[in-house]
């Protein structure tokens, strides 16, 4: 009832979208991840999206979204260092053209975790040559793909650094702090330079990264060490990147160690800010764990844990959006979603998070878009095929796509929030 009385606060040009990444839908034999996770050997083409993209793009039309975030699989475009696959470039151009035909605004992610194998072997991110290689790819993409205004250079750079260089669970599998700092410098240098390249070819481009933001809390509130960890994690994970876009300097400060300052050419190199938000993380000081930190998801507020054990914490979205608004730029929620086998859980998750966005808009935050993660069930990094984030269910035997209740609920939400 309350809903009907209040005027719709979502701007008419609000981007209602879904987000995907190429590798998670279609795999790629030339990517570093293809051989990283053994589960992919049994299902290298994952959902078969590379061949079925026309059918999958129709689902976007069926949903009624007006925006779609997807990534270009670099290893398909440049399977070898000296080879550009023009067929693959045309493939992605066709996706853009179909979207335009449906009046759906494309948003392209240039780098969503995967690298061509030749790049990973010869120029991993901690080597300075990585910059030149990524920028060649960027320039090739922006100079040939037509009809794209929204560009994300990197998906979740901090996740690349933490997984690949501190925990070592994702490529290149290192546990090396000096290398992680070099990789940080190189990745953000790439962003700064790619920002300029994109604007050179697409003068009205809107460029960002998609930054994973989380809410942190002390495991035990009474424990000063847990509280210290929470403060450090919140500063590093959520705020240091915002400050770096304002000043051009990253201040990396881990608990019990000296702060390191890293200069990067990214000051002001953002047109909007992309936020990926999923969950809250509780932290405990544990001297027997790596860097003295133990992470946990606790169901404190009774919203439950998802299929992959993440806490559902809608209030946290408001918190991170407030942090992001320090940049004084439009904000896009470039990812938000839940892994569940239960459609109704997906509906609830979506409703609760969109209610939070609505409240934030009423509080005056400049939010311009929401991209649900994700369109169809896919491959989840290190978790295989059972983390079902899709609005459409995929039967991995037959590859049949079927709508979940969350698909029609999203259509309803979009329609009801797109009218005056």
Binding site for ligand GAL (CB under 6 A): 21, 24, 155-156, 159, 212, 276, 335, 373, 380-381, 389
- Give least dist CB 413 to ligand GAL, A: 20
Q: Is 338 or 360 the residue whose CB approaches ligand GAL more closely?
A: 338
86 by Cβ neighbours in 10 Å (0-12 / 13-18 / 19+) ranks as: exposed
Q: Is 280 or 417 the residue whose CB approaches ligand GAL more closely?
A: 280
Q: Is 199 or 393 the residue whose CB approaches ligand GAL more closely?
A: 393
What distance lies between CA 355 and its chain's CA centroid?
A: 21
- Give least dist CB 326 to ligand GAL, A: 22
Contacts 24+ apart (CB under 8 A), 97-101: 97/147, 98/54, 98/57, 99/57, 99/60, 99/68, 100/147
- Give least dist CB 179 to ligand GAL, A: 22
Give CA–CA dist 65/105, Å, rounded. Answer: 9
Residue with tokens 């993409």: 141
Q: Is 156 or 226 the residue whose CB approaches ligand GAL more closely?
A: 156
- Give least dist CB 20 to ligand GAL, A: 8
Q: Is 195 or 372 the residue whose CB approaches ligand GAL more closely?
A: 372
Say whether the peptide bond before residue 172 is cis (omega within 30 degrees of 0).
Answer: yes
- Give least dist CB 325 to ligand GAL, A: 21
Q: Is 30 or 275 the residue whose CB approaches ligand GAL more closely?
A: 275
Give CA–CA dist 210/137, Å, rounded. Answer: 19
- Give least dist CB 274 to ligand GAL, A: 10
Torsion of Cα atoms, 217 then 218 then 224 then 230, to 10°: -40
- Give least dist CB 352 to ligand GAL, A: 17
- Give least dist CB 43 to ligand GAL, A: 16
CA–CA distances in Å: residue 87 to residues 44, 93, 100, 110: 20, 10, 20, 18
- Give least dist CB 109 to ligand GAL, A: 9
Q: Is 115 or 155 the residue whose CB approaches ligand GAL more closely?
A: 155
Q: Is 155 or 170 the residue whose CB approaches ligand GAL more closely?
A: 155
- Give least dist CB 33 to ligand GAL, A: 11
Q: How many CA atoms lie within 13 A of 62 on its CB side?
A: 17
- Give least dist CB 21 to ligand GAL, A: 5
Report the candidate in 329, 352, 193, 344 with the shortest Cα–Cα distance to residue 278.
352
Residue 86: which residues within 8 A CB-CB, separation 6 or more? none
User: How many degrees, rounded to 5, is the angle at CA 295 between CA 374 and CA 181?
Assistant: 80
Q: Is 156 or 377 the residue whose CB approaches ligand GAL more closely?
A: 156
Whether residue 311 contacts residue 299, with contact meaning beta carbons closer than 8 Å, is answered with yes
Q: Is 24 or 404 the residue whose CB approaches ligand GAL more closely?
A: 24
Give CA–CA dist 96/32, Å, rounded. Answer: 26
Q: Is 271 or 335 the residue whose CB approaches ligand GAL more closely?
A: 335
């Amino acid at each position: 009832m309350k809903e009907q009385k209040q005027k719709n606060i979502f701007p008419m040009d609000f981007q209602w979208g879904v987000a995907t990444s190429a590798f998670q839908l279609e795999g790629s034999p030339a990517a570093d991840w293809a051989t990283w996770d053994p589960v992919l050997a049994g299902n290298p083409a994952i959902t078969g999206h590379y061949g079925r993209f026309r059918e999958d793009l129709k689902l976007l039309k069926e949903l009624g979204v007006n925006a779609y975030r997807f990534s270009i699989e670099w290893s398909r475009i440049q399977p070898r260092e000296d080879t550009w696959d023009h067929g693959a470039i045309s493939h992605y151009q066709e996706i853009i053209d179909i979207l335009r035909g449906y009046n759906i605004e494309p948003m392209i992610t240039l780098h969503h975790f995967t690298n061509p194998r030749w790049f990973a072997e010869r120029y991993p991110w901690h080597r300075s040559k990585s910059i030149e290689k990524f920028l060649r790819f960027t320039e090739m993409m922006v100079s040939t793909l037509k009809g794209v205004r929204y560009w994300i250079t990197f998906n979740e750079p901090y996740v690349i650094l933490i997984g690949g260089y501190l925990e070592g669970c994702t490529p290149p599998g290192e546990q090396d702090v000096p290398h992680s700092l070099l990789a940080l410098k190189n990745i953000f240098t790439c962003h700064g330079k790619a920002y300029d390249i994109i604007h050179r070819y697409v003068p009205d481009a809107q460029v960002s990264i998609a930054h994973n933001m989380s809410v942190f809390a002390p495991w035990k509130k009474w424990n000063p060490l847990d509280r210290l960890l929470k403060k450090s994690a919140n500063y590093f994970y959520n705020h240091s990147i915002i400050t770096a876009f304002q000043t051009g300097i990253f201040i990396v400060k881990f608990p019990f160690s000296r702060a390191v300052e890293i200069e990067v050419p990214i000051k002001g190199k953002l047109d909007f800010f992309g936020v990926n938000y999923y969950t809250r993380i509780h932290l405990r000081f544990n001297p027997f764990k790596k860097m003295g930190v133990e992470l946990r998801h606790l169901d404190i507020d009774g919203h439950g844990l998802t299929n992959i054990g993440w806490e559902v914490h809608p209030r946290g979205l408001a918190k991170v959006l407030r942090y992001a608004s320090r940049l004084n730029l439009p904000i896009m929620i470039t990812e938000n979603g839940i892994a569940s086998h239960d459609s109704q859980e997906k509906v609830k998750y979506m409703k609760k998070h969109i209610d939070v966005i609505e409240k934030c808009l009423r509080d005056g935050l400049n939010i311009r878009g929401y991209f649900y993660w994700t369109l169809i069930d896919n491959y989840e990094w290190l978790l295989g095929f059972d983390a079902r984030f899709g609005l459409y269910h995929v039967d991995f035997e037959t590859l049949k796509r079927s709508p979940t209740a969350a698909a029609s609920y999203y259509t309803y939400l979009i329609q009801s929030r797109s009218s005056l």
